[in-house]
Structure 1
Amino acid sequence: MVSSKKENPSGIEIVAYDEKWEKAFSLLENVLVNALEDLILCIEHVGSTAVKGLGAKPIIDLDIVIENDQLLPNIIQQLSRLGYIHEGDLGIKGRDAFARQDRFVPWSETGEQWIAHHLYVCSKDNEELKRHLAFRNFLREHPKVAAEYELLKRNLAKNAKTRAAYTEGKSAFVERILRSCDE
């Protein structure tokens, strides 16, 4: 028997779109909005799970949008109470990443286990936020392009040797779409 590592060296699995992703986002959004209240402007569901019909890694990407970076220390403190760990910008200026201490984060009285998710905080004028929203919105409005993107991701997941190679392999496609959004 051939090991799955040889079949998929990147370890990335792209699965068919799941209607549960939208509900999972809504539940997470509700908990976060209640915890952060007036500190935030909104929470955006970004990434492939935010595009109906698009196959993706089953990980929800959330961008918490704040008025300005001066609010970040308060946000870090509140998210810490929910079990999130501030990781800094991870090389993307103005977008702060947060890891989960365990699968129960955000912690709640119910002890719910949450779907895997990536959480970011950025100000409303952040360029990475603008890119996330532009790319998501373009894919939502162009199902044929979304299907093309899914095929690319499936091929990369199967053939890329590392996660970095998978991500790099998507870059040209993403940049092409973002350029078309600017035109």
Structure 2
Amino acid sequence: MRSVKVVAYDSIWQHLYLDEMNKLKEIFKGQMIEIFHIGSTAVPGLVSKPIIDMMLVVKDISQVDLLNEPLIRLGYEPKGENGIKGRRYFQKGQDNRSHHLHIYQTGDENIKRHLAFRDYLRTFSGEAERYGHLKAELAKLYLFDIDSYIAGKNIFVQVMEIKALDWYDVQLEKKEQLILKFP
């Protein structure tokens, strides 16, 4: 049975992401637009389940299914959309999961949601700390119940996502104004 393990931030996570990113670039060359380290392991100082979440943005999501075989050879298990329409989701490491791969087609609204949440937590350390405390407490309460752990975070994450998206939109608007001001 898989346990819910939340641990202190580890700078090795960035290196694990970069290593995996290079492997994925080889598989998705010609199809990949961008790749991002997302989730709690992408936020310095934030406690996390030690699983590297990555988001790959591709030109055509329908082409991803043709690349399942090389991903399987790399250790990934295809999970289809797994509850999010338009996404392809993969897990690596079975019960000792090490990586989650979320793949979206360029323009998908979930790309912005993931980046806004990550960048908001990177910018507002107090919010990241609150989130970390919640995750640590839930991990203690639901050591062998990942579904209850996730459900326990759900409302907090939904509220945080709304705040993050509002903040992110303001940041994008400021960048656009600077670009217009200084062409």
> Paired residue for 1:53?
45
Per-residue deviation, residues 82-136 of structure 1 (Å, max 9, x unmatched)? 3433221111111111233779xxxxxxxxxx98111121112223332211111
Query: What is the rounded CA distance, in whole Å, between the counterparts of 2:139 and 2:92 in structure 1?
Result: 24
- Between structures 1 and 2, the one with greater helix share: 2
- Give yes or no for the alignment of 1:151 onto 2:143: no
Match of 1:39 in 2: 31
Task: Supply the distance in 2 between the matched residues of 1:54 and 1:172 (Cα, whole angstroms).
Answer: 19
3-state DSSP of counterpart to 1:153: helix
Counterpart residue type for residue 81 of structure 2: D
The Cα shift of 1:81 comes to 4.4
What are the Cα deviations for residues 3-22 of structure 1, in whole angstroms up to 9, with x where unaligned?
A: xx9xxxx8211111001000
CA distance in 2, matches of 1:25, 1:68: 23
Among 64, 67, 79, which residue is 1:72 paired with? 64
Q: 1:167 aligns with which of 135, 147, 150?
A: 150
Query: How far apart, CA to CA, are the structure 2 residues paired with 1:156 and 1:65?
Result: 31
Residues 131-182 of structure 1: CA distance to partner in whole angstroms, max 9, x if unpaired?
2111111101111110110000001111136211110111111111121134
Q: State the distance in 2 between where 1:173 and 1:11 align.
A: 22
TM-score by length of 1: 0.80
Instruction: Pick from 2, 12, 21 the counterpart of residue 13 of structure 2.
Output: 21
The residue matched to 1:88 in structure 2 has which SS? coil
Instruction: Return the letter of the residue paired with 1:149.
Output: Y
Match of 1:133 in 2: 115
Aligned length: 165
Asked whether the equivalents of residues 60 and 105 of structure 2 are also in contact (C-alpha less than 8 Å), the reply is yes
Higher RCO, 1 or 2 (CA under 8 Å, sep at least 6)?
1
Alignment TM-score, normalising by the size of structure 2: 0.80
Distance across 2 between alignment mates of 1:55 and 1:137: 16
Hey, which bits of structure 1, 4+ residues long, moved more than 4 A?
Answer: none
